[in-house]
Amino acid sequence: MKNKTMKALTFKRYGKSPELGFDNIDCPAPADNKILVKVFAVGLNPIDNMIPTGIFKPVLHFKLPATLGSDLAGVVIAVGSRVTRFKPGDEIFASTFDTGIGSLAEFAVVPERAAAIKPTNLDFVQAASLPMVSLTCWQALTERAGLQPGQKVFIPAGSGGIGSFAIQLAKHLGAQVATTTSTDNAGWVSHLGADEVIDYKKQDFENELSGYDVVLGTIRGDSIEKSTQILKPGGKIVSLIGPLDVAFARSRRLNVLLRLVFGLMSRKIMRLTKKRGLSYSFLFVHPDGDQLAQIGKLIEAEQIRPVIDKVFPFIEAKEALAYLGQGHAKGKVVVRMQES
């Protein structure tokens, strides 16, 4: 791949005018512990739209211009000298989030630790829809919340990319699930496994639910604060959208000023949860090929299935991001890079 170029969707600066567009950039070469992947599909995530704004600039580090995208599925075409788990020809899926590597390109270098063999019963588009959303749900519900059979978990926005996967995983773990959605999607989220469905246009969840063990924070605004009212003592809030907290700042080894800022941002929710005997934490997903492999087994056993709203061709990747940004996708939005 030396001296060859590839097409990638990049942004050149942070802010309101990030100069998002297609560029021809140098094809990467795999370092010792990385694999070079021909990308067949890329799953989009809300954070892909947020990164160019600069909101995560203190936390996520990119060399500009930077390639967008965090999830991919494709075929290994070369491996680094220390790679032992993969070989050329392997079909893989992976999240490159928080590695400084974008996926909306014809080729991508992926850390070996971040990749897993693609589930055999999925095509590349289906597999690309899974990495970040599945890892987020896995890390939130199993690692952070320790969700147990018989416990009750509230997962707002059940028809979205996170919600549609989280409901299925929570049911697999043996939990009772409540969610919110519109009237049109109520039957569909019930089919995914939701035991109680709140129509957010007609009902306030905090008035309808009680005695819950876990809340998965997925909606901005005052939803996180209201969710403290439905949890029983000892209950846990695991937020995917903030506010960021001091524990997160420490885990990222951020400076004292940022720790202070994050402490102020989370002060209100910390005070509320302490008063009610609850716990709050912000989760920042991390790539993990071993966890993806476990999730892949659930997919192959048809315990969980991917949910895809719409597929765009690579040439319409900007339009795909704009569509995702509208916030109405029923499941995941995927970019098909090339035909398999």
Q: Of 327, 307, 278, 298, which is closest to residue 119 (Cα–Cα)?
A: 298
Three-point CA angle 108, 113, 115, nearest 5°: 50
Homologous superfamily of domain range 5-130+308-336: Medium-chain alcohol dehydrogenases, catalytic domain (3.90.180.10)
Q: What is the pLDDT of residues 242-256, one digit of tens each?
A: 888 898 888 888 889
User: pTM for the full model?
Assistant: 0.94
Mean predicted confidence (pLDDT) in 62-75: 96
Query: Facing residues of 176 across strands?
Result: 152
Q: What is the per-residue pLDDT across 117-128, written as a single tens digit (0 to 9) for each?
A: 999 999 999 999
Mean pLDDT value across residues 292-315: 96
CA-nearest of 143, 120, 119, 121 to 131 is 119
When pLDDT is averaged across residues 292-317 and rounded to a whole number, the result is: 96
**pLDDT confidence tier of residue 61, bands split at 50, 70 and 90:** confident
- Per residue in 192-251, pLDDT tens? 999 999 999 999 999 999 999 999 998 887 889 999 999 999 999 999 988 888 988 888
pLDDT, tens digit (0-9, with 9 covering 90-100), for 246-283: 988 888 888 898 899 888 888 999 999 999 999 999 99
Q: Strand, coil or helix: what is 153?
A: strand
In this prediction, residues 313-317 reach a mean pLDDT of 97
E runs forming strands in 219-296: 231-239, 279-282
Over 80: is that where the pLDDT of 2 sits?
no
Amino acid 197: pLDDT: 96
Question: How much is the pLDDT for 252?
Answer: 85
Q: Kindly report, as residue ranges, where domains of CATH 3.90.180.10 are found in the chain.
A: 5-130+308-336
Homologous superfamily of the 133-282 domain (CATH) = NAD(P)-binding Rossmann-like Domain (3.40.50.720)
Does the pLDDT at position 304 exceed 70? yes
- Predicted confidence at residue 310, as pLDDT, reads 97
Compute and round to an integer the Cα radius of gyration of the chain.
20
Query: Where does the chain hold its CATH 3.40.50.720 domain(s)?
Result: 133-282
More confident residue, 319 or 3: 319
